[in-house]
Every structure is written in structure tokens, then in C-alpha cells.
Amino acid sequence: MEPGMSVSLVAREAGITASQLFQWRKVYTEGSLVAVGANEPVVPASELQEAMKRIKQLEAALGRKTLENEILKEAVDFAKAKKWIARSPLPGGEEP
């Protein structure tokens, strides 16, 4: 925009409304166009926060399940060592 040009003149030359130009300037000053300039999708901050919360919940659940799995493996190994679990072939002749 050249010095001395009004917003409405610039908007008219660009074929947009002045309110659209003001809206673009507002999101630009707030940093929202960084993602647009990088060709990335823009999502609302509330949606991002909800997604981050859900990721943390899923990571915690994964950690619990991993720990349970390790404990169960150790219990099976211990039981096999004590011969509490008989080692028999799986149905179909497959070995574990």
C-alpha cells in the first residue's frame, strides 16, 4: 500500500471489501497467517488444546498398558521357570 492511499481504495483495486482487508490485517498482526504462508492448515486454538489433552491421555494409557504387558511377561517367565505353566504346543502345531 502506497503512503496516502486509503484502505477502501486498496480494497477496491484488489476487488475485495474494506472489511475483508481489515480482517486480514487483524489476523496478520495476530500471527494467524504464519500457517497460511507456510501452506499449513489453520485450526482454532481450542481444538488444538483439546487434541493436545487427548494426546496426553492416550500417552498415559499407552504407558500403563506397556507396564502391564511387561509385568505379565515377567510373570509368565517366572511361572515357566517354576514349571507352574506346562509348555505345550499351540493348537495347529505352532510353537510360540
User: CA–CA distance from 21 to each of 2, 6, 15, 53 (Å)?
Assistant: 15, 11, 10, 35
27 shares its domain with 48? no
Q: Cα angle at 84 between 78 and 89, to 5 degrees?
A: 95
**Model pTM?**
0.46
Cα gap 84→2, rounded to integer Å: 86
Q: What is the mean pLDDT of residues 22-31?
A: 78
Mean pLDDT of 53-70: 97
| Share above pLDDT 90 across residues of the chain, in percent, rounded to a whole number | 31
- Clarify whether residues 36 and 4 are in a common domain: yes
Residue 68: is its pLDDT beyond 90? yes
Mean pLDDT, range 61-90, rounded to an integer = 87
Is 1 a member of any domain? yes
The most distant pair of C-alpha atoms in the chain lies apart, rounded to whole Å, by 91
Kindly state whether residue 34 falls inside one of the protein's structural domains.
yes
Range of the domain at 3: 1-42
Is 7 part of a structural domain of the chain?
Answer: yes
Do 34 and 15 lie in a common domain? Answer: yes
